[in-house]
Amino acid sequence: MAENERSWIPPEGTWASSAARRRNMQAIRSRDTAPELSVRKLLHALGLRYRVAAKPLPELRRTADIVFRPAKLAVFIDGCYWHGCPEHYVPPKTNSGYWSDKVSRNVTRDRDTDSRLRDAGWTVLRFWEHESPDNCVLTITATVSRLRNARD
């Protein structure tokens, strides 16, 4: 491989602790995760239709995992690591400053997203990836039903 054909490697201590860690982190899915798919499959089997990875508010550059537009319901299924689950989050051992700050920014952004959606008249439901899909679906279906009845 010629000198100018090498793949770019970030400067030491910036993005990730190593090129291997960087590849690993880039491979983590931001949508269609196993917990999301489990919940969506159950919702679909119950006849509920929804949007996937959609922006509830066009002016907000953030997407919800599941969106029921007419009911104005945004559902998020948060990963325990990336969103700082109080039960399962374990601070990283390498490059801990970067990753802990990243998770902290994610949590702050999540709270801001919730606030903005609620201010715009939306209902927000958040679940952790470790929660039972059946329990999540019970809460979602009850909320959709309540919101549809209130609208009609």
The answer to whether the CB of 116 falls within 8 A of the CB of 109 is no
* Residue 72 dihedral angles phi and psi, to the nearest 5°: 55, 55
Band (24; pLDDT cuts 50, 70, 90): low
State the average pLDDT over residues 75-102: 90
Band (47; pLDDT cuts 50, 70, 90): very high
The helix/strand/coil state of 19 is helix
Q: Which CATH number applies to 30-151?
A: 3.40.960.10
pLDDT for 96: 84
121, two tokens: 């008249």
Has residue 8 got a pLDDT over 80?
Answer: no
Q: Is the pTM of this model over 0.85?
A: no
69, two tokens: 């537009």
Sequence spans of domains, the chain: 30-151
